[in-house]
A and B are shown apart, each in its own frame.
Chain A
Amino acid sequence: AQSVSQHNHHVILSEAASLELGCNYSYGGTVNLFWYVQYPGQHLQLLLKYFSGDPLVKGIKGFEAEFIKSKFSFNLRKPSVQWSDTAEYFCAVNAQDTGRRALTFGSGTRLQVQP
């Protein structure tokens, strides 16, 4: 079974600060990795995903994430946050080797960007 840990539960940043949100997963096989975002009053939407190849993936709105296999990590980054990035961010995985589609989510990180 897979599990996902997001260590930062609540992050407060000022605009233009750099962002890094941690995500670690536990699974013995190959995984697909996702970051989803939920803006206030909106539903979950995909930021970016990683399956294979270049471990640095770029998503929408200037976000990127780096897969480090040796650390079982998939941290989300953004060089300069904006007030509109205030949202809850969820890391998720599913098993690439079994093809099982169910996503296992972390508990989320609430990001608050102050103007």
Chain B
Amino acid sequence: GAGVSQTPSNKVTEKGKYVELRCDPISGHTALYWYRQSLGQGPEFLIYFQGTGAADDSGLPNDRFFAVRPEGSVSTLKIQRTERGDSAVYLCASSSSLSGGARNEQFFGPGTRLTVL
């Protein structure tokens, strides 16, 4: 079946602009995660949704970052007043919420490469 998809695959923007990154999880997966991966580093957790609600947003670096998942499926990560330090690959993952919880495999999308000039 279809995996996690993310759009756009690449986004170039100017410092100070607003960007939106979209994630389409695997159908039926109620858990959705956002991570950020900087060059030479492993993915870094940003936020986790269970259904429509953010169950854990402890990884969001500041109030310029916000994410929504209004219908419990597609999610949008929103970054206001972008800074050069926001340049990274933004990864989305989803997992099943059958018994297993934190043990469940997270399936990753291809990522959106964000470049802030």
Q: With a CB–CB cut-off of 8 A, which chain B residues contact A90?
A: 42-43
Q: Out of B3, B48, B105, B108, name the residue touching A102 (CB < 8 Å).
A: B48
Q: With a CB–CB cut-off of 8 A, which chain A residues contact B95?
A: 101
Contact with B along A31-50 (1 / 0, CB 8 A): 01010100000111110010
Q: Would A32 and B102 count as touching, CB distance under 8 A?
A: yes
Bound complex: CA of A42 vs CA of B58, how far in Å? 28
B62 close to chain A: CB less than 8 A:
no
Q: Would A92 and B31 count as touching, CB distance under 8 A?
A: no
A73 close to chain B: CB less than 8 A:
no
Binds B, one of A62-70, A74-82, A105-113: A105-113
Measured CB to CB, the residues of A under 8 A from B are 4, 6, 32, 34, 36, 42-46, 49, 51, 90, 92, 94-96, 99-108
Measured CB to CB, the residues of B under 8 A from A are 3-4, 31, 33, 35, 40-45, 48, 55-56, 58-59, 91, 93, 95, 101-103, 105-106, 108-111
What are 25 A-B pairs with beta-carbon distances under 8 A?
A6-B42, A32-B103, A42-B110, A43-B4, A43-B91, A43-B108, A44-B43, A44-B108, A49-B103, A49-B105, A90-B43, A95-B102, A96-B102, A100-B102, A101-B33, A101-B95, A101-B101, A102-B33, A102-B45, A102-B56, A103-B35, A105-B35, A105-B42, A105-B43, A106-B42
